[in-house]
Amino acid sequence: MDEQMKELVAIGAAAAANCHPCMDHHLTKCDELGISRAEIIEAVKVGLIVNHGAERAIRKKARELLGESMDAAA
């Protein structure tokens, strides 16, 4: 895997992890490597899709454990 692909994976993972400092760091690295904004945006979109899936899964698990009243708190 080349350095550009590693940075695209890293910025997508940063988006999935909700890590603001990581996003800043990896965006700088992407810029240094000359990665296009279009490629960066696609990688971030994939990370956000992963994040959304994880959020939905944990909400479902919380409802299973705590009941539907958990939704009222969110």
The two structure tokens encoding residue 14? 């940063």
Alpha-carbon span 22 to 25, nearest angstrom: 5
Contacting residues for 40 by C-beta, under 8 A, at least 6 apart: 8, 11, 27, 30
pTM score, whole prediction:
0.81
Which tens digits make up the pLDDT trace of 8-41?
Answer: 999 999 999 999 999 999 999 999 999 999 999 9
Please, are residues 18 and 51 in contact by the beta-carbon 8 Å criterion? yes
Which residue has tokens 């539907």? 68
Q: Looking at residue 68, what is its pLDDT?
A: 72
**70 pLDDT higher than 90:** no
Per the structure, the count of domains in the chain is: 1
**Phi and psi angles of residue 49, each rounded to the nearest 5 degrees, phi first:** -65, -45
Full residue range of the structural domain in which residue 65 is found: 3-73
